[in-house]
Amino acid sequence: MDLAIKWQELMNNPFFRDIPYKVELNKFGQILMSPASNRHGILQYKVGQEIERTKQSGIIIIECSILTSESVRVAHVAWASNEFISEVGEATQYPKAPEICVEIKSPANSQAEMEEKTRLYLEKGALEVWIVDEYGEVDFFSHTGKIKKSKIAADFKL
């Protein structure tokens, strides 16, 4: 199954236009939906705002779809450099991951799910993956594993 084609069909389906859920596709082309909470949305905004403050260039993307080796995943927040945007533009879904991909963990997310998303984003070229828990605590990951703080947005504070 071509996940890129399946994703485009999903994007064109009027049923999915205004639902209050995050939508992803798994490796079997099955639709995964996660309900959004207001706390989740607030954290997304705060993370994006703080990355923007520290970077002052590039672009913040909320709900950034990325075609991974196994599925179409949607990073809650992403930061893409100007070079990244020049290369891939506004494609839906991105063929590679922006430099920073952020997941806001909800109580329904398992540790295994967060580890899988981290692995998939890093495999697709993300330099860092950040996992933010519901209390605003951030874990940073790079290709070397867990890191103490971001090397890309060193002054980031949530």
Domains of the chain: 37-147 (3.90.1570.10)
- Other beta carbons within 10 angstroms of residue 65's beta carbon come to 20
Distance CA(71)–CA(22), nearest Å, equals: 14
| Each residue's pLDDT expressed in tens, for the chain with a length of 158 residues | 577 777 677 667 776 666 656 676 667 777 766 666 788 889 999 999 999 999 989 999 999 999 998 888 999 999 999 999 999 999 888 999 999 999 999 887 889 999 999 999 999 999 999 999 989 999 999 999 999 999 999 999 88
CB 91 within 8 A of CB 46: no
CB 93 within 8 A of CB 65: yes
DSSP structure string for 9-20? HHHH-GGGSS-S
Distance CA(128)–CA(152), nearest Å, equals: 8
